[in-house]
Amino acid sequence: MSPYFFQAMADEQDSLAWLARGMSRLRLNQRVILVDRDTLLVLACVNLPGSLYDTLRRVGERKISYAMFSHSNAPMPGMEEELEVQRFEFDRRPNSEIDLKREVAIPAALVRRIRAELRTTFPDFDLTRLEMLLKILWLNNENYLLMSPPSRIAWLIWLFDRGNATGGLFLDISEIKREGRSETRVLFAVGNPHQEDFLLQVLEVFNRLDIGIRRAYCQTISNGIHPYFLGSFFVVSRQGEDLTPGSDLAARLTSELCTTQIIATNSAVYRDFVTVGLLSGEDAALINAFIAFCHTSLAHNQPERFGLEDVQRAFYDHPEMGQLMVRLFRTRFTPQLENRESLYAPLLAETEAMVEGYNTGHRWLDDIRRTVYRCSLLMITHCLKTNFFVVEKQALAFRLDPAYLRKLGNEFTADLPEALPFRVTFFFSRFGSGYHVGFSDIARGGWRTIIARSADDFITAANTLFREVYVLANTQHLKNKDIYEGGSKMGLVLDASDLDQANSEEETCRLYKLQYGIINAFLDIFVTEKGHVRDPRVVDYYRDDEPIELGPDENMHDAMIEAIAHLSRKRGYILGIGIMSSKRIGINHKEYGVTSTGVVAFARITMADVAGIDLTRDVFSLKMTGGPNGDVAGNSLRILLESAPGLQVRLILDGTAAVYSSRGIQSSELQRLCLAHDLDAFSPESLGEGDFILYRTGRRMEGLRETHRKVTRTGGVLLEEWLDIDEFYREYNSLIFTTKADLFIPAGGRPETIDSQNWNLFLDERGKATSRVIVEGANSYVTPDARVQLQKQGVVIMRDASANKCGVISSSYEIIANLLLSEREFLEHKEQYVRDVLTILEKRAEDEARLILQRYRENGGTLLYTEISDTISHNINGFYTRLFEFFSARPELCLQRPFRQTVLSHLPALLQKSPFRRRIRKLPIKYLCAILAAEIGSSLVYTGNRDADFEEMVRRHLARTL
């Protein structure tokens, strides 16, 4: 055995003695158990191909914190086979226990020896990082550090550091000689790996490639945020193939190990095709991406024909079709492929013929599957760039020409807005998929992640995902009329259906894995240099910079916001930290209530105009969705509690609970919850007579029956009852429709909650709307059809594209600050800058609210409020498009008078002053053109007089021609 084996087993001398006595038993048994405790399992077994893999399958779902495997260098006495010892520890520390502020006493002598090893072996290692990395390892497993030689600890620290430096995925293959043998060392670091069977999947890769593991040392630790896998494998090819760095086998091993981050072991394509060698893991991941794309592209319109299982069966039952699609894709995107066009054209023709000629004699199924194959083919032929050939990836990205939507046909796009996007990007990862849809070259919009906590939730969310993102992006485009960026949206669905507990540490880790993998994939294809993708492994058919700005939305945590901004700057994206808004070097939406500033302004002006209610003085009632701890709902509630003494909140409903009061919920309790707690933290003691709270969280199982808690104050006493799930959701879902209030602010909740099928529930028994005014703080909460019907019943609706636009305007000014100010300057002037931005937000909201109401009166009430809002957006965006094209064709005008002054007038007051005003020259020319287009376009609509402007245009025309 290797000397390292005895060092690794120094704390288990009894098991070594038992091994010496019981080795002969391996002549008759495949394995002998040396230790079997709750936290430790040690086995001795006969070294056979796949023995490690078999053991891990038996270990099952136990979470491994440390694994060691070692082979003897010679056959066992009286046998032809070698000895293999396997050690597994099950003592993984939860993230919450890794407190980097905690004082630890690592022996000084050990630290000195490790530092010396690092200086010798890794002279480029930044020793200032040693203390933190060593502390993390110590907090996870101090016994391992005390037992291991300093040389191995140094390697472990270096591997941990490299994993961090490369974004959580690092692999190194090198050839070494030890004890007279040549072997290959594989170092593999993975940040936040999937939890249950990761090591099993890694060993399956070695086994499938016929690579034997001579010995290995693997740890799964926590960095305090998420787990981290650190593995060292010493391997040889069982067939004697070349495994040195640069060899074909080494390249396949690298690709397959990295693909473990994308291909899920519970997918049928992995189980039925990968493990038996019919497909590589990389190709299987691509087929799974085809499946997800086709499902989400087709099911939103026809879920009964193109459910997930229907699409999967099209590929699983006919793998030759999937393999043909993979060949075509590889031909289109393999880097540096010679004679690409001469190879691609005939293969495309062959694939199209196979698709159109697909016929198994089952007409209904054949029609469905031909449509699926056509959709997959459109994805390939309209993909302009992809990171598929970037080896060290954790998700796949496909930037598509949106013209594919026209070819897909009206049958599958009739439920989408008519406008065609500027770009569509599809993302696929192990735990979910999603889209970024943008309606202009420079585009911005939020990034939301839907967490599906059951299989039904996942199917439902995936069915409508593309339509949801498309509609939200289109709404965002209408909303972004006041700024230089067009509208976009990014939406993902996370599959958390196999996790036991909602909002658990595991769920958060999976959320971060999905988001971090997707943003890396995003940067793989959007980081450019001189207009071309920088990474040579990305074949780029688009060939231009793509400035895409993101913002936080549902399930985007502060830590991830900062991580995305840092990663963007590190990887050299054109916008640097400006890729993401609401960060520390920015304007946090929740902290400053920027979106709610506009929502409340719309509510104040609209209520005064149509209901004669002065929110700052009169008594009025309110119902709202979205919790007191949410951004838009929480800040809207805060602003109204501070400025509206006559406020009576009749209903608040969020994802955790619903509180109802006929006379108004206690203000002091709402103030306590505001921006600090979700609604399920509401104290029942604050309920008034007849008031109640329904708890969506904290369900109780009574046998197989799921129940939810309801607390009501009756006769001065709090009464608790448990409702079965049907009764609970019947009451919970009906409250937004039946509760009567002067004003309804939907500031949270799922899109399309009020739709063409249920809008009439918003009317009472006399046919009167339960709220006269709706101000949409949440996007797409009411569908277009439902808006029309409700307005016909006398409801005044200020739609999302108008009412909640201030959040995106704030984000736009945050990005301008990132482009024109240093981090130090921004932090130094932040409060003044935010005040300037809030002033702009108030004006933008008031301008549009007053214009909508003015045009409604001018048209004698013949136009709907939402129609007027749409017209304003289309007018401004129409001007923007023409102006952007004009200035892009004549960029020299941008900094000449009067256009330079127009650019300055768009900026917050701080940036209009010296020395900052001179820095507008630093803005990319695309940005200068866009700012001019936005500022002039919006000014023409908000402040122009249509009749006077038309008369002036006619007079100028006649002056030129007569």
Q: What is the identity of the amino acid at 756?
A: S
Q: In this structure, are residues 653 and 694 in contact, taking their beta carbons and an 8 Å threshold?
A: no
Q: Please tell me the predicted confidence (pLDDT) of residue 197.
A: 83
| Distance from C-alpha of 413 to C-alpha of 420, rounded to nearest angstrom | 11
CATH assignment of 385-580, given 3.20.20.70, 3.40.50.10860, 3.60.150.10, 1.10.800.10?
A: 3.40.50.10860
Residue 636: name the closest of 686, 662, 674, 605 by CA: 674
Residue 571: name the closest of 613, 530, 528 by CA: 528
For CATH 3.40.50.10860, list the domain ranges present in the chain. Answer: 385-580
pLDDT along the chain (962 residues), means of 10: 68 79 82 88 85 78 84 84 88 88 91 94 93 94 87 93 93 84 90 86 92 90 92 92 94 96 92 92 97 97 94 94 97 96 96 95 93 97 98 97 96 94 97 97 94 92 96 92 94 92 85 96 96 96 95 90 94 93 88 96 98 97 95 96 97 96 97 95 96 92 91 96 95 97 95 94 96 95 96 96 93 92 94 96 95 95 96 93 94 94 95 93 91 93 71 69 66
| Distance from C-alpha of 217 to C-alpha of 584, rounded to nearest angstrom | 40
For strands 647-653 and 657-660, give the pairing.
antiparallel
Q: In this structure, are residues 805 and 844 in contact, taking their beta carbons and an 8 Å threshold?
A: yes
Q: Please tell me the predicted confidence (pLDDT) of residue 367.
A: 95
Q: Please tell me the predicted confidence (pLDDT) of residue 3.
A: 67
Residue 214: name the closest of 359, 52, 347, 66 by CA: 52
**Which residue in this structure is represented by tokens 């054209």?**
345
Q: Enter the DSSP assignment of 739.
A: -
| Distance from C-alpha of 236 to C-alpha of 82, rounded to nearest angstrom | 15
**Distance from the Cα of residue 576 to its chain's centroid:** 19
Q: Residue 102 in 3-state DSSP?
A: coil
What backbone phi and psi angles, to 5 degrees, belong to 895? -105, 15
Q: Please tell me the predicted confidence (pLDDT) of residue 953.
A: 66
Half-sphere exposure of 640 (CA within 13 A, CB side): 33
